[in-house]
Amino acid sequence: QQQVKQSPQSLIVQKGGISIINCAYENTAFDYFPWYQQFPGKGPALLIAIRPDVSEKKEGRFTISFNKSAKQFSLHIMDSQPGDSATYFCAASTDIYSGAGSYQLTFGKGTKLSVIP
């Protein structure tokens, strides 16, 4: 089974600090790596995503770092705020035109982030 391993399971960060969540994958055919954010009582929503032709993607305070050779990618949240407290899921899939089943996402098990004032 294709897997994406996510760590840590939970994370507590002081307001203003940097939150870092890591994911590792095995399937070298993966070429789309999104992060989803889920607030309590809501469904997950896409936060930011990266393709392996770049090593980093930044959107505001959120940055994905991607290391293709190590088959690892991570989410960095700069200047973490209490409003960032949520569960974060990394995921991976093959390109949507790679063939049957490529529109599936393989999710990590999630990281519950708590940002304390």
Partner 1 sequence: DVKVTQSSRYLVKRTGEKVFLECVQDMDHENMFWYRQDPGLGLRLIYFSYDVKMKEKGDIPEGYSVSREKKERFSLILESASTNQTSMYLCASSSLEAGGTNEQFFGPGTRLTVL
Interface residues with partner 1 (CB under 8 A) are 1, 6, 9, 32, 34, 41-46, 49, 89, 93, 96, 101-105, 107-110
Smaller CB distance to partner 1: residue 17 or 98? Answer: 98
Smaller CB distance to partner 1: residue 77 or 108? Answer: 108
Question: Taking the complex as a whole, how short is the minimal distance between the CB of residue 79 and partner 1, in angstroms?
Answer: 26
Residue 100 C-beta-side C-alpha neighbours within 13 Å: 0
Question: Taking the complex as a whole, how short is the minimal distance between the CB of residue 9 and partner 1, in angstroms?
Answer: 7
Taking alpha carbons only, the member of 19, 3, 17, 21 closest to residue 111 is: 21
Question: Taking the complex as a whole, how short is the minimal distance between the CB of residue 16 and partner 1, in angstroms?
Answer: 29
Smaller CB distance to partner 1: residue 14 or 104? Answer: 104
Tokens of 75: 């989410």
Residues ≥6 apart with Cβ < 8 Å to 77 = 13, 18, 19, 20, 61, 62, 84, 113
Question: Taking the complex as a whole, how short is the minimal distance between the CB of residue 41 and partner 1, in angstroms?
Answer: 7
| Single-letter residue type at 59 | E
